[in-house]
Amino acid sequence: MHRAFPKITAAVLGAAAMTLASSIPASAHVSVSGPDATVAVGSFPTLTFRVPTEESNASTVKLQIILPKDASQKLPVALNQPHTGWKTTTTGSGSTPGAGVTSVTWTATAGGIKPGEFDEFKLAAGQVPDTNVIYFTAIQTYSNGKVVRWDQIPEPGGEEPEHVAPSLKVVPKSTSADTTKAATATLGNHATASEGGSSDGVGSSAATGAAAAGVLGAGGGLLWFRRRAQRSDANA
């Protein structure tokens, strides 16, 4: 019985290891995200590009993000956030700062992103167009001269390409995280009003509960006194 225990443990650990291995992506890639899991149509989000270094003997020394040119995905404005250790250049800028930008490039001035590490680069985007997803092209350059283009758009229902393009999911404004935040703020206001003595539903429920508890308590005490009086009369 004791000998079977190590075999069972080994089997369980083996299965757990296989499950963990299957949950880890085959390779990391340059990705983009907004403040939430999605961005809403008409919003002005700050976009974060996450860049991992996959090379074991080289660092990432340059990143170029090419913004979509298609009118249905185009962002009218792109302002870059200064990044310590990196020099930033933009192309296609119009008369208004950030307007008409077609690409942003970060070039390392202090070593870049070392093997096994990642870094994040930010852009303040213009008004998000009415579309389902926005694809960007990311060009990653390593210190050993290797250049990787992340620009492959996945086919519907197909497997993820080896060098998949960074994508940003867009949702209608009414279903965005802004709605959730507004609802949370409204609930917070109700809670504050209740603490200030208002007669909203939450406060009324609490008061009603307290009053009910008091009535039940008084009724229980009266019943106890009556039973005690009845015992006294019986003994007499």
For the stretch 126-176, pLDDT in tens is 999 999 999 999 999 999 999 999 999 999 888 889 999 999 999 998 754
Q: Are residues 122 and 231 in the same domain?
A: no
Report if residue 59 sits inside a domain: yes
Q: Is 80 exceeded by the pLDDT of residue 93?
A: no
Number of compact structural domains in the chain: 2
Query: Does 96 or 21 have the greater pLDDT score?
Result: 96
What is this structure's pTM?
A: 0.64
Q: 201: Cβ–Cβ under 8 A, 6 or more apart, which residues?
A: none
- Averaged pLDDT for residues 89-93: 88
35 near 169, Cβ under 8 Å?
no
Q: Are residues 142 and 202 in the same domain?
A: no
Report if residue 153 sits inside a domain: yes
Q: What is the pLDDT of residue 3?
A: 54
CA–CA distance from 216 to each of 54, 137, 170, 202, 208 (Å)?
69, 70, 55, 21, 12
Residues in the chain, total: 236
Report if residue 213 sits inside a domain: yes
Q: Are residues 127 and 211 in the same domain?
A: no
Query: Does 99 or 188 have the greater pLDDT score?
Result: 99
Q: Is 60 exceeded by the pLDDT of residue 63?
A: yes
Structure confidence at residue 90 as a pLDDT band (50, 70, 90):
very high
Q: What is the pLDDT of residue 226?
A: 46
Q: Are residues 139 and 220 in the same domain?
A: no
Token couple for 93: 């800028």
- Averaged pLDDT for residues 35-53: 94
Q: Are residues 143 and 47 in the same domain?
A: yes
Q: How much is the CA Rg of the chain, to the nearest whole Å?
A: 31
Query: Does 15 or 81 have the greater pLDDT score?
Result: 81
Chosen domain end from 131, 160, 179: 179
Query: Does 25 or 162 have the greater pLDDT score?
Result: 162
Q: Are residues 197 and 157 in the same domain?
A: no
Q: Are residues 156 and 207 in the same domain?
A: no
Q: Is 80 exceeded by the pLDDT of residue 205?
A: no
Q: What is the pLDDT of residue 217?
A: 46
CA–CA distance from 61 to each of 39, 66, 207, 235 (Å)?
29, 17, 64, 99
Report if residue 19 sits inside a domain: no
Q: Distance between CA atoms of 77 and 87, rounded to whole angstroms? A: 20
Structural domain span for residue 226: 182-235
